[in-house]
Amino acid sequence: MNAMQTPVIDAAALKPRIAASGVQVYYGTNHALKDVSVDILDRTTTAFIGPSGCGKSTFLRCLNRMNDTVASARVEGKILLDGQDIYDKRVDPVQLRARIGMVFQKPNPFPKSIYDNVAYGPRIHGLARTRADLDEIVETSLRRAALWNEVKDRLQAPGTGLSGGQQQRLCIARAVATGPEVLLMDEPCSALDPIATAQVEALIDELRERYSVVIVTHSMQQAARVSQKTAFFHLGNLVEYGDTQQIFTNPQDPRTESYITGRIG
């Protein structure tokens, strides 16, 4: 899988799923994100890259309003999901998060069984009417996360007993189980070894066929391997956003070039 082989995305063919414009984030008096405008396309993997503290994770967490849980955080600007402002007063963040799934940096399965981990989301959202429905959702989700074959015989075993890579795929299965439209991944491979990373990356490529995937990563190679669109953040600014191939081969901004060639960050 090489970035160079990835077909150039025709932006006109895919409609934007999420349209962010003029997003500002403040943590107390700290202006963490400055005027970011991005369109996240449907059925596309979008990578956010940039040095630590550049605001890429902050922006990711704005997309499903996880920043609401940080007391000092204040978000301005507009983020539209399918044309509806997710920061509108009428929006319930709980409902929003069922439609925008999230996978975190450190695998964080619940200390429950594998089955319960995946079934938790569908249960609280009432997605399954019968036990058979739920079984099916769990199986489908685990299959989508490429974990089914490894755990089908021990669904009642604790999720925390899996290896790191398996745990992360379990978290992906859990996120997929509620049937989200967008999947946000915050450095999903940073705690994994290269083999598990390769598995998760292959998985991301499959997930892209169904969902819009947004991934924050520190590894530029990973961004190049899995994404079609890349956004480069630096010091709270969105410096450059474009096709992955173009960003890595022909960056328009000198800061992007410095970063991808390893001179800053």
Asked if 106 is part of the footprint of other proteins (rule: CB under 8 A), the reply reads yes
Pairing of β 212-216 and β 229-234: unpaired
Provide the greatest CA pair distance for the chain: 57
Please pick, from the candidates 55, 121, 188, 251, the single residue that binds other proteins as defined by CB under 8 A. Answer: 121
Asked if 167 is part of the footprint of other proteins (rule: CB under 8 A), the reply reads no
Mask for 43-82, x = binds other proteins (CB under 8 A): ---------------------x-x--x-x-----------
CB of 124 to other proteins, least distance (A): 6
Distance CA 237, CA 54 (A): 7
CB of 192 to other proteins, least distance (A): 15
Asked if 258 is part of the footprint of other proteins (rule: CB under 8 A), the reply reads no
Please pick, from the candidates 1, 8, 124, 264, the single residue that binds other proteins as defined by CB under 8 A. Answer: 124
Q: Would you say 48 and 214 are in contact if contact means Cβ atoms under 8 Å apart?
A: yes
**What strand order describes the sheet that includes 100-103?**
84-85, 73-81, 16-27, 30-41, 237-243, 229-234, 45-49, 212-216, 182-186, 100-103
CA distances to 65, 247, 256, 264 from 112, rounded to whole Å, are 26, 42, 43, 42
Please pick, from the candidates 3, 134, 162, 175, the single residue that binds other proteins as defined by CB under 8 A. Answer: 175
Q: Which residues pair with 78 in a beta bridge?
A: 21
Q: Which residues pair with 49 in a beta bridge?
A: 232
Asked if 102 is part of the footprint of other proteins (rule: CB under 8 A), the reply reads yes
Residue with tokens 């150039």: 8
CB of 18 to other proteins, least distance (A): 17
Asked if 87 is part of the footprint of other proteins (rule: CB under 8 A), the reply reads no
What are the residues binding other proteins (CB under 8 A)? 64, 66, 69, 71, 94-98, 101-104, 106, 108-111, 120-121, 124-125, 171, 174-175, 177-178
